[in-house]
């Protein structure tokens, strides 16, 4: 297309004509929009789906291998011909498919969820991987989904809501990092605005009958902690699902015994909460800050998750200090203790090797190798710029260009991109030095310069050290970030 346009140009320069050609090429790549209409019956037993595609598709699949068990009937809307599942795909006509209709046994699919035993019967929880049969999505494709629900029944799906009633949603390409949950039934939901971002918070209904409002305020405070990185929350539309777990096998005494990030058509944080603990106890919990900190990066390939887990480990302590939940000394103590656990873990493996090995034996190396690199990078950026650069400022620029991201990244891709955001490269040098080297990226030589003195395992801070100004700045938000969070609140 560019050659044809350029050859026909008249009365203009070749460069201007070539630019025009590139713009036309971009405009010609129209966004493909597929439309799904989903109906749930009054008893929450059956889901009926009609999907109309923007063009004849040659591939339809569900993400779970178990999805065919719950597919009761699939047909070509235009011919009424039945479509048979083959593994987790549907066998389609040779000329493609423009309309698909199918039904799903929703109640049976929900029985696969471990949450079924603790939830109130008014809730049905089932992953979209079991009922969403769809084509491949290119980077610019989207699926618009409209739900028709029985009176008094709500729906939550891990996608972007398009209306206030939360019945219309937009699903786009994503890394598909896990199996997010969908919820149908009676539950509380609230939408909060945090640092220019919209946060949809859902609390599943259990026998404990907890009220959402105080927990939503705690979630809001946690997201404001993360906004202390650079004054914004990293994703303009994020879902948070609170799951009161009670006495189940993963429960422990913590207020938040477990959390995870799922990037499946959007970004969703799922937090297990302990209904026996008072809400005040939740504010000092590190788990939610850790999970929200993952959104500072895109989804990384699993074999390099030491980078993403490590950055979240680093920032959970830094941000809780900035928010006043930890003292600076306590935060450095926690970082020191964690880095020591990482240094002692699997000393014969590199961080890349550890990420691909047995998690039980390498967990501390996986979680703290990246934290060591984050600390090294943050200190070096602040030192060489006299405090005008930091890991915060790199993440700020990265969010503006690249988040949220519809794709998975490798560690090399991430660090190369970080280096393009700096006048002088840093991150790939650290990666080459440590990622494939047995042992641990040991930041202890920096401690003396930062004024972090360790005696009998206890951290003491020395304000007369050469880089004490860097140490203090790490645990203090920039004026701009703090002002932005205050203004949003």
pLDDT in tens, 152-207: 999 999 999 999 999 999 999 999 888 889 999 989 999 998 888 999 999 987 76
> Is the confidence at residue 15, as pLDDT, over 90?
no
76, HSE (Cβ side, Cα atoms, 13 Å): 18
Judged against a pLDDT cut of 70, whether residue 238 lies above it is answered with yes
How does residue 247 score in pLDDT terms, banded at 50, 70 and 90?
low
The answer, yes or no, to whether the previous bond of 229 is cis (omega within 30 of 0) is no
pLDDT of residue 112: 84
Average pLDDT over residues 478-488: 74
Distance, CA of 7 to CA of 26 (rounded, Å):
19
What pLDDT shows up at residue 441?
Answer: 95
CATH 1.10.390.10 holds for 297-488: yes
4 band by pLDDT with thresholds 50, 70 and 90: very low
DSSP state of 321: H
pLDDT score recorded for residue 103:
98
Task: State residue 17's pLDDT score.
Answer: 46
% the chain with pLDDT above 70: 90
Q: Say what the pLDDT of residue 28 is.
A: 40
Residues 6+ positions from 377 with CB-CB distance below 8 Å: 391, 394, 426, 427, 430
Q: Confidence band (pLDDT; 50, 70, 90) for 440?
A: very high
Q: CB burial class (10 A; 0-12, 13-18, 19+) of residue 81?
A: exposed
In tens, the pLDDT along 106-133 reads 999 998 876 666 677 778 899 999 999 9
CA distances to 306, 343, 357, 366, 367 from 349, in Å: 13, 11, 9, 10, 14
Candidates 133, 277, 115, 291; CA nearest to 204 is 115
In Å, what is the CA distance from 143 to each residue of 39, 51, 140, 146?
Answer: 16, 9, 10, 10
CA separation (Å) from 200 to 72, 151, 241, 270?
Answer: 32, 21, 8, 12
Lowest mean pLDDT: which of 234-248, 363-377, 388-402?
234-248
Given a contact cutoff of 8 angstroms between Cβ atoms, the answer to whether 124 and 113 are in contact is no
**pLDDT at residue 303 greater than cutoff 60:** yes
Does residue 251 register a pLDDT over 90? no
User: What is the share, in percent, of the chain residues with pLDDT greater than 90?
Assistant: 77
Across the chain, what does the average pLDDT equal? 89
Average of pLDDT values for 405-419? Answer: 96
Question: Mean per-residue pLDDT for 46-75?
Answer: 96
Domain ranges of the chain: 1-30, 33-289, 297-488
Judged against a pLDDT cut of 60, whether residue 248 lies above it is answered with no
Residue 105's pLDDT is: 97
The pLDDT score that the predictor gives to residue 246 is: 67
Residue 360 has what pLDDT? 74
């Amino acid at each position: 297309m560019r050659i044809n346009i350029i050859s026909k140009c008249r009365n203009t320069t070749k460069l201007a004509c070539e630019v025009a050609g590139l713009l036309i090429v971009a405009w010609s790549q129209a966004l493909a929009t597929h439309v799904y209409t989903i109906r749930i019956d009054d008893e929450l037993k059956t889901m009926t789906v009609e999907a109309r595609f923007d063009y004849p598709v040659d591939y339809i699949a569900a993400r779970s291998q178990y999805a065919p068990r719950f597919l009761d009937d699939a047909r070509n809307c235009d011919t009424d011909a039945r479509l048979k599942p083959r593994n987790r795909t549907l066998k389609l006509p040779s000329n493609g498919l423009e309309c698909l209709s199918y039904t799903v046994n929703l109640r049976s699919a929900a029985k696969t969820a471990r949450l079924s035993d603790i939830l109130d019967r008014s809730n049905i929880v089932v992953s979209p991987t079991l009922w969403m049969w769809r084509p491949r999505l290119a980077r610019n494709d989207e699926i618009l989904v409209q739900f028709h629900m029985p009176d008094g029944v709500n729906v939550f799906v891990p996608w972007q809501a398009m209306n206030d009633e939360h019945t219309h949603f937009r699903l786009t390409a994503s890394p598909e990092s896990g199996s997010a949950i969908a919820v149908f039934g009676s539950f509380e939901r609230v939408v909060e605005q945090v640092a220019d971002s919209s946060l949809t918070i859902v609390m599943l209904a259990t026998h404990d009958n907890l009220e959402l409002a105080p927990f939503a305020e705690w979630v809001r405070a946690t997201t404001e902690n993360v906004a202390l990185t650079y004054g914004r929350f990293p994703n303009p539309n994020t879902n948070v699902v609170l799951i009161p777990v009670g006495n189940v096998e993963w429960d422990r005494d913590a207020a938040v015994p477990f959390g995870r990030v799922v990037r499946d058509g959007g970004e969703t944080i799922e937090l297990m909460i302990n209904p026996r603990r008072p809400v005040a106890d939740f504010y000092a919990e590190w788990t939610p800050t850790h999970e929200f900190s993952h959104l500072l990066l895109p989804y990384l390939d699993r074999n390099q998750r030491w980078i993403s887990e490590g950055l979240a480990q680093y920032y959970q302590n830094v941000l809780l200090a900035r928010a006043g939940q930890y003292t600076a000394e306590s935060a450095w103590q926690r970082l020191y203790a964690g880095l020591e656990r990482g240094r002692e873990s699997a000393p014969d493996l590199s961080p890349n090797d550890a990420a691909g090995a047995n998690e039980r034996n390498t967990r501390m190396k996986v979680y703290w190798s990246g934290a060591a690199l984050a600390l090294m990078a943050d200190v070096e950026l602040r030192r060489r710029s006299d405090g005008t650069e930091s890991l915060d400022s790199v993440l700020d620029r990265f969010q503006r260009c690249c988040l949220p991201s519809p794709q998975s990244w490798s560690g090399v891709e991430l660090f190369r991109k970080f280096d393009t955001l700096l006048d002088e490269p840093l991150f790939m040098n650290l990666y080459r030095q440590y990622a494939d080297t047995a042992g641990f990226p040991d930041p202890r030589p920096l401690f003396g310069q930062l004024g972090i003195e360790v005696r009998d395992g206890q951290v003491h801070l020395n304000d007369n050290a050469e880089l004490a100004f860097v140490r203090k700045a790490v645990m203090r938000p920039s004026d701009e970030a703090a002002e932005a969070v205050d203004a949003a609140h």
